[in-house]
Structure 1
Amino acid sequence: MSIKVEKVSVIYQKKTPFEQRALNNVSLTINQGDILGIYGLTGSGKSTLLQTLNGLIKPDSGNIIVDGVAVNKLKGSQITELRHKVGMIFQYPELQIFERNVFEEIAFGLKNIGLKGEQLKKRVTKALDLVDMSFDEFKDRSPFTLSSGQKKRITIASVLACKPKYLLFDEPTTGLDTTGRTKLLSHINEINNLEGITSVLVSHKIEELVTVCNKLIIMANGEIALKGTALEVIQQAEKNGLVEPITIRNIANNLKQRGFKLEKNILNIEDLSNEIIKALNERGNNSDFRY
């Protein structure tokens, strides 16, 4: 099972003086279980690409294939089914929140497919559990009174309740403080591990993407400049000057220069902390180490 993007192009305001090619002949495959990060500057085409994956934007040419089905051939209720399978979490949660309390917010899509009673309650409860929110604590609260981080988690829970196979996140950490960003990225990783849900994250913050993504693509001018594992892409991007060196990797390099034997390629704080602990345990009284 996978999402395949086959030579997709998208042109905005076609055949006008303001014509803009947002995507140009883009191809990639998103495999089951991946957490794919899409990085790029404003105008690179990353959000446009994301929205083609569940039919929100129709390509001018090329195909999007979801689990063997061509998205451009779907109509009516088939498109609704696609968007249950490929759920979208927008950059601003306020755009997805409209019910009077958290329970009704998460239950909205479920009621539309006929769920009710205890079955409905169980699905809402599980969805809240997946984003670390208590059913009893939040079910009667207005979603509009919640913090930015809580609103974001409610929108994720609303999509999770419909049991998607794929989750699409557009700038997921926008408006969150450092703690909120860390928690949200942790939830995305846990959802992938516990539920096997494939996720695609769009962001202009590459340091956040590498903390959670196993695959990474870098976009520029509507095209894919680099793609591969997160480590492969970061190494090549730093070498080519496509991104600034990641802070964690700079710290790791400085520690190596001071005598730490860090064997693993470092991408995130967890990698770094594990390697430091390992190095300290092995170092002993090594006189080559300098503070």
Structure 2
Amino acid sequence: MLAVELKNLSYTYSAKTPYEKRALDGVSLAIEEGEFVGLIGATGSGKSTLIQHLNGLVKTQEGEVVVAGMNARDKKTLKKLRFKVGMVFQYPEYQLFEDTVAKDVAFGPKNMKLEKEEVDRRVRRAMEVVGLPYDEFAERSPFELSGGEKRRAAIAGVIAMEPEILVLDEPVAGLDPAGRKEILGLVKKLHEEVSPTVIMVSHYMDDIAEMADRIVALRDGKVVADGSPADVFGDREALAAAGLALPTAARVVDRLAERGIELSRRIVTPAELVDALVKYRSEKAARAAETGAETDTETDAADGSAPAPTADDGEGRDV
């Protein structure tokens, strides 16, 4: 069953004015229940406008938006549709406002007009899922929490509504590496235990490569790539045309190719890269043994006995 279906969706800001901007241009997309979709694109590509259509934050102008079988144009079911889609915006901790964590997490379920016992159950479960034990954090002020804890509390407020579809807009923005790892681990857990369908917007290509089953790339409001991480990142030319970077593992593959070490361009994660290098070294050694030749410098580079090429992280730093 489809969780989300977009049919020829277009949207224009400030239409018929000197400031008119076409944000989405004929986007058609079908997302199955249970998929983890990574949404990528350069600034201004239409990512935020697209996800804001999913729960009616932006009204449909042209085309159709169908979520969980409900049309976003139908005012009768719009409220129900919004409860089906959990939206976690950039820096969600800025949305905290209650005097205790439990009250903040309970805000959404209360708006759903649920019984108190059900609200309490959802609050407790959501806090436990995000790693904020209820007995320890329920009565604490959200403003006294650490940065990572605040973000967890904000996410708990969304998942307490038990959405079928979880949409995350740059969930690790502003976090240090440890914080990023924690939140990404949480997102994976939420996908497995809470919301079967996840749509994550991120400009961190490494995160998208690791987390997503499928990647959709936007450019100038249009879908320019749609497929598995290996398919999308494997098409270097299309990715460059969209103004997007490669994940680190793919950049290393390209640098190794410059040294004569040819690996698959479908490699997108560190684990895949390690496996490929181990296989390359083994095959090289086997061929050398058959011919009685010594392994050459290529093998040395692959097994770490000679300096291997590095790839920068897109900001001039070696990785």
Within-5 A mapping of 1:135-146: 135-146=134-145
> Structure 1: how far apart are the matches of 2:282 and 2:120?
49
Deviation per CA, 1:200-253: give whole Å up to 9, x if none.
111223222112111111111111111111211111145652333321223356
Question: In the TM superposition, what is the alpha-carbon distance from 1:80 to its structure 2 partner?
Answer: 2.5
* Partner residue, 2:61: 60
Shift of 1:15: 1.4
| Counterpart in the other structure of 2:199 | 200
Q: Which moved more, 1:143-152 or 1:175-184?
A: 143-152
Structure 2 Cα separation of the partners of residues 263 and 44 of structure 1: 29
Tell me the secondary structure at the aligned position of residue 56 of structure 1: coil
Q: Distance in 2 between matches of 1:102 and 1:283?
A: 58
CA RMSD of aligned residues (A): 2.7
CA contact (8 A) 2:90 2:169 kept: yes
Aligned to 1:157: 156
Secondary structure at the counterpart of residue 5 of structure 1: strand
Aligned pairs for 1:1-291 within 5 A: 1=1, 2-75=3-76, 78-112=77-111, 113-117=113-117, 119-238=118-237, 241-242=240-241, 243-252=244-253, 265-273=266-274, 288=295, 289-290=299-300, 291=305
Deviation at 1:283, TM superposition (A): 8.8
Range moving further from structure 2, 94-103 or 50-59: 94-103
What amino acid is the match of 2:116?
Answer: K
Structure 1 gap ranges (5+): none
Shifted more, 141-150 versus 152-161: the winner is 141-150
Contact 2:68 2:84 survives alignment (8 Å)? no
Q: TM-score, normalised by structure 1?
A: 0.87
In structure 1, distance between residues paired with 2:42 and 2:258: 32
Q: What do residues 50-75 of structure 1 show as CA deviations (whole Å, max 9, x unaligned)?
A: 10011100121000011222111134
Q: Report if the CA contact (8 A) 1:90-1:96 is conserved.
A: no
Contact 2:7 2:29 in 1 (8 A): yes
Structure 1 contact 84–159 (Cα < 8 Å) conserved: no
Moved more, 60-69 or 205-214: 205-214
The change in CA–CA distance for 1:252 and 1:28 in structure 2 (over 3 A counts) is same
Aligned amino acid, residue 31 of structure 1: E
Residues 109-147 of structure 1: CA deviation (Å, up to 9, x unaligned):
223323324x43332221122222211221111112223
What is the DSSP-based 3-state SS (H/G/I as helix, E as strand, rest coil) of the residue aligned with 1:218? strand
- Equivalent residue of 1:73, what SS? coil
More displaced 10-residue stretch of structure 1: 13-22 or 127-136: 127-136
Question: Deviation of residue 33 (structure 1)?
Answer: 0.9
- Between the two proteins, what is the percent identity of the paired residues? 36
Q: In the aligned structure 1, how far is the partner of 2:143 from the partner of 2:86?
A: 21
Deviations 1:9-64 (A, max 9, x none): 11111111111111111110111111111111111111000100111001210000
CA distance in 2, matches of 1:200, 1:233: 16
Counterpart of 2:315 in structure 1 is: none
Q: Deviations over 1:139-174 (max 9, x none)?
A: 111112223322222121111111100011111111
Does structure 1 retain, via aligned residues, the 8 Å contact 2:165–2:195?
Answer: no
3-state secondary structure, aligned to 1:49: helix
Task: Flag the structure with larger Rg.
Answer: 2
1:241 alignment partner, SS class: helix
CA distance in 2, matches of 1:238, 1:101: 50
Question: Which structure's relative contact order is higher, taking Cα pairs within 8 Å and 6+ residues apart?
Answer: 1
| TM-score of the aligned structures, taking structure 2 as reference length | 0.80
Contact 2:166-2:197 at 8 Å conserved across structures: yes
How many pairs were matched up?
288
CA gap 1:19/1:265 in 2 versus in 1, 3 angstroms: closer
Q: Is 1:22–1:44's contact at 8 Å kept on the other side of the alignment? A: yes
Tell me the secondary structure at the aligned position of residue 16 of structure 1: coil
Any stretches of 5+ residues in structure 2 without a counterpart?
Answer: 289-293, 306-319
**Does the C-alpha gap of structure 1 residues 244 and 66 become closer, same or farther in structure 2, counting only changes over 3 Å?**
closer
2:291 alignment counterpart: none
